[in-house]
């Protein structure tokens, strides 16, 4: 069952469900290829035709060609096919509770999701949530407290070890942090921990390679820097030569370059360069290459 899955996703900065689908595969080491569906380019309907009757992202094509739509169905399918990966908690009580939290996530919190569209570019300042959104937030905090009571985990992942419950609530964490929503200090720390995960940082960095004009879901409020990862000091360079001859990700010859602290590094295409410009510290292969050169 190690054949490769095909994952169909939408724009990374905004598609909360796509982020969930990607984390199901990325965080649990399952092999996949990702394919972009044009949510904001006007091509979504045509892009989704080969996956019919699936009509929303994410969607998953299994190695045998079977298409699975809807995030919860994807989660259960992957957990069934890969029991060794530990997508659900191992303890039966924790596993049942984690399923409950994920189902309520899928079916509920409509005020929060409608009022606070996920975006990963910056934080809005001065946002005032509605009473209905505050009710959703209280419910989420109650569910998280119950999960911790069941699992005994005072901090970190809800059930002690990272699971699908943390996957499903990562976009909620992005909303809480991105809109400065009122939660307890402990739950704010949990949100920041989810967003600090290297995989989530990489997802955001890839999303930042795309520019939007106008910016979707504009609020008109002032913005502040995203709290995870320092402002990148890297920027695209017009030409080399670079310190490295091959791309740290693909091993292919370099064609595109960035400048970081006066050092020129090369990559095999603009996407590899631009995702690194967005968050250089999010990419272990790049940081390892830098360390090997700078320590020598």
Phi-psi bin for 153: left (phi > 0), alpha (psi -120 to 50), beta?
beta
The pTM of this model reads 0.96
pLDDT at 294: 79
180: burial class by Cβ within 10 Å (0-12, 13-18, 19+)?
Answer: middle
Place of tokens 């045509």: 46
pLDDT at 1: 45
pLDDT at 2: 57
pLDDT digits (tens, 9 = 90+) for 74-115: 999 999 999 999 999 999 999 999 999 999 999 999 999 999
Q: Is the dihedral of CA 147, 150, 154, 155 positive or negative?
A: negative
Cα–Cα dist 78/253, whole Å: 36
pLDDT at 232: 81
Shared fold status for 5-85 and 92-201: no
Domain at 92-201, CATH class: mainly alpha
**Closest alpha carbon to 258 in 210, 291, 275, 250:** 275
CB 218 within 8 A of CB 194: no
At the topology level of CATH, where does 5-85 sit?
A: Glutaredoxin (3.40.30)
pLDDT at 58: 98
Task: Give the residue extent of every domain in the chain.
Answer: 5-85, 92-201, 234-294
Q: Low-confidence residues of the chain, pLDDT below 70?
A: 1-2, 296
Report the percent of the chain where pLDDT is more than 90: 95
pLDDT at 230: 73
């Amino acid at each position: 069952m190690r054949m490769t899955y095909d994952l169909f996703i939408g724009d990374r900065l905004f598609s909360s469900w796509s982020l969930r689908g990607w984390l199901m595969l990325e965080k649990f080491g399952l092999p996949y290829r990702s394919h972009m569906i044009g949510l904001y380019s006007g091509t979504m309907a045509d892009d989704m035709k080969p996956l019919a009757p699936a009509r929303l992202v994410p969607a998953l094509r299994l190695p045998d060609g079977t298409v699975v739509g809807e995030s919860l169905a994807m989660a259960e399918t992957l957990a069934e096919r890969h029991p060794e990966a530990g997508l659900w908690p191992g303890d039966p009580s924790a596993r049942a509770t984690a399923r409950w939290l994920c189902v309520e996530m899928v079916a509920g919190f409509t005020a929060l999701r409608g009022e606070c569209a996920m975006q990963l570019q910056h934080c809005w300042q001065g946002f005032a949530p509605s009473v209905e959104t505050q009710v959703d937030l209280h419910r989420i905090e109650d569910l998280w407290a119950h999960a911790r009571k069941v699992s005994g985990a005072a901090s970190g992942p809800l059930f002690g070890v990272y699971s699908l419950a943390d996957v499903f609530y990562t976009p909620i964490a992005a909303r809480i942090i991105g809109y400065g929503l009122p939660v307890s200090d402990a739950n704010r720390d949990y949100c920041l921990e989810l967003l600090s995960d290297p995989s989530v940082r990489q997802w955001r960095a890839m999303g930042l390679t795309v520019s939007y004009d106008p910016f979707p879901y504009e609020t008109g409020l002032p913005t502040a820097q995203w709290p995870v990862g320092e402002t990148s000091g890297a920027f695209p360079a017009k030409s080399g030569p670079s310190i490295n001859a091959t791309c740290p990700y693909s091993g292919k010859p370099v064609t595109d370059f960035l400048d970081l602290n006066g050092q020129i590094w090369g990559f095999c295409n603009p996407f590899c360069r631009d995702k690194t410009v967005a968050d250089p510290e999010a990419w272990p292969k790049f940081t390892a290459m830098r360390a090997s050169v700078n320590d020598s």
